[in-house]
C-alpha cells in the first residue's frame, strides 16, 4: 500500500501502529495521515479495530508500538489529558457524560483551567444547540440524544485542532443528528479537522473528502468515497469472499 509521506499538510500522522492483546492483533502496522482542515472518514466492518485505533491515538491505550505525530509532535506515550490539552480531542461511542455534574459543569471542566470565561463559552455553545435551559440539569437526567450532544460540545470547550468522532450520531434521533452534522460542517469551515468513525455511508459520502478503510487491524484502502466503494478489497471485507463452490 503506497501512502503519502507525512508532510506539513498533515495534522495527524501515524506509522506502523501495532497493538496486540494477548495473542490477538487488534492493529497491524496501521499507517494513517489526516490532512489539515478536512473531514476524514474511518470505516470498516465491526471488530476491525477502529475504536482501538482511537484509543491508541487519544492516549487511552498506551500499549501500542509505532509512531504517532500530531501537529509535528510525537504524542505516543503521552497521557490523554496532555494530548487533549495539546489540541486533540475525542468523543466516545457510548455517552460518557458525568452523571452527577450539571450540564454546565460538564462543559466547564473540559475547558482550560485558567479560563475565566469558560462558563460563558459553555452557555454560548449550549445556546447554539438550544440546550441553554438545561444548563443546571444533572447529566444523568438528560435524554440519550441530549447526552451525546453535550458530550460533543464538551470537547469543543478546549478549541481542539483535531477531533476524533466515534460514531457521534449513533442512537440519536434525526433532528439531533442533523444538528450535530451541521455543527461539524460549520466547525470544519472554521478550520477544525475531523476524523470520523461512521457506519452510515451516506454521511461519509456527503461529508468526507478522504476515507480510510480498516479491516482486521489493517488499512486496506484509502481515497475518496467514490474510489473506495468500488474497491474489491473493501467489498470483500464487508461482504466476504465470493466462492466458486459452496456457501461462504
Partner 1 sequence: MPEKLSQKLLRVLRSFPAALSSSAGKPGAAIPGGPFGGTNVRRTFVKNLRLTLTRLTAARDVFETASEGNPRSIGLWVGAVLVTFVLLAPLGINDYHQSFLLQVFMVIALAQAWNLISGMTGYVSFGHAAFFGVGAYAGALFLTWGFPWWLAVIKGAGIAALLAVPLGFLTLRLRGPYFAIAMLGLNEVGRVVATLWVDVTRGGTGLTLSPKLLPSLDVKYFTMFALALGATLLVAWVHRSRFGLELRAIREDEEAAEMVGVNTTLNKVIAFVLSAVIPGAVGAVYVMYTSYINPASAFEHARNIEMIVVVLFGGSGTVWGPIIGAGTVMILRELLWAQFPAAHLAALGVLLLVVVLYLPGGLISILRDRQQKRPDARPGESP
Among 6, 35, 109, 123, interactor with partner 1 by CB under 8 A: 109
User: Binding to partner 1 by residue 37, rule CB under 8 A?
Assistant: no
Q: Are 88 and 72 in contact (CB under 8 A)?
A: no
Member of 6, 25, 98, 200 binding partner 1 (CB under 8 A)? 98
Compute the radius of gyration of the chain from its Cα atoms. 19
* CB neighbour list of residue 221: distance below 8 Å, 6 or more residues apart: 211, 212, 213, 227, 228, 231, 233, 234
Instruction: Report in angstroms how near the CB of residue 159 gets to partner 1 at its nearest.
Output: 12
Q: Which is nearer to partner 1, 157 or 176 (CB)?
A: 157
User: Closest distance between partner 1 and the C-beta of residue 183, in Å?
Assistant: 18
Binding segment toward partner 1, per CB under 8 A, in 35-43, 152-160, 172-180, 202-210: 152-160
Residue 99 as a binder of partner 1 (CB under 8 A): the answer is: yes
Taking CB under 8 A as the binding criterion, the range among 8-16, 42-50, 62-70, 99-107 that sits at the site for partner 1 is: 99-107
Q: Terminus-to-terminus CA distance in the chain, angstroms? A: 27
Residue 113 contacts partner 1 per CB under 8 A: yes
Check binding of 75 to partner 1 (CB under 8 A). no
Residue 20 touches partner 1, criterion: CB under 8 A:
no
By three-state DSSP, how is residue 57 classified? helix
Q: What is the DSSP string of 166-219?
A: ESTTTT--HHHHHHHHHHHHHHHHTT-EEEEE-S-HHHHHHH-SEEEEEETTEE
By CB under 8 A, is residue 155 in contact with partner 1? yes
How far is it, in rounded angstroms, from Cα 231 to Cα 197? 19
The distance from CA 52 to its chain's CA centroid, rounded to whole angstroms, is 11
Question: Per rule CB under 8 A, is residue 177 in the interface with partner 1?
Answer: no
C-beta of 68 vs 157, nearer to partner 1: 157
Shortest spacing between CB 161 and partner 1, in angstroms:
14
> Distance between alpha carbon 183 and the CA centroid of its chain, in Å?
14
Dig out the grid coordinates for 78 from the structure.
503521552
Amino acid at each position: 500500500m503506497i501512502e503519502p509521506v507525512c508532510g506539513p499538510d498533515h495534522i495527524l500522522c501515524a506509522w506502523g501502529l501495532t497493538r496486540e492483546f494477548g495473542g490477538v492483533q487488534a492493529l497491524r502496522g496501521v499507517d494513517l495521515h489526516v490532512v489539515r482542515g478536512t473531514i476524514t472518514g474511518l470505516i470498516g466492518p465491526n471488530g476491525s479495530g477502529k475504536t482501538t485505533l482511537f484509543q491508541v491515538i487519544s492516549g487511552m491505550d498506551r500499549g501500542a508500538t509505532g509512531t504517532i505525530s500530531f501537529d509535528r509532535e510525537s504524542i505516543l506515550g503521552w497521557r490523554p489529558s496532555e494530548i487533549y490539552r495539546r489540541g486533540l480531542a475525542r468523543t466516545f461511542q457510548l455517552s460518557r457524560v458525568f452523571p452527577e455534574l450539571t450540564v454546565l459543569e460538564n462543559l466547564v471542566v473540559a475547558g482550560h483551567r485558567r479560563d475565566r470565561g469558560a462558563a460563558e463559552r459553555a452557555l454560548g455553545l449550549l445556546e447554539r444547540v438550544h440546550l441553554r435551559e438545561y444548563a443546571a440539569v444533572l447529566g444523568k437526567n438528560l435524554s440519550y440524544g441530549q447526552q451525546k450532544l453535550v458530550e460533543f460540545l464538551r470537547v469543543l470547550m478546549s478549541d481542539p485542532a483535531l477531533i476524533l468522532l466515534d460514531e457521534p450520531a449513533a442512537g440519536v434521533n434525526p433532528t439531533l443528528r442533523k444538528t450535530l452534522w451541521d455543527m461539524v460542517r460549520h466547525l470544519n469551515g472554521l478550520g477544525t479537522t475531523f476524523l470520523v468513525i461512521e457506519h452510515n455511508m451516506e454521511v461519509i459520502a456527503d461529508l468526507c473528502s478522504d476515507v480510510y478503510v480498516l479491516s482486521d487491524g489493517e488499512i486496506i484502502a484509502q481515497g475518496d468515497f467514490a474510489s473506495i466503494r468500488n474497491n474489491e478489497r473493501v467489498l470483500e471485507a464487508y461482504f466476504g469472499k465470493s466462492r466458486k463452490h459452496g456457501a461462504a
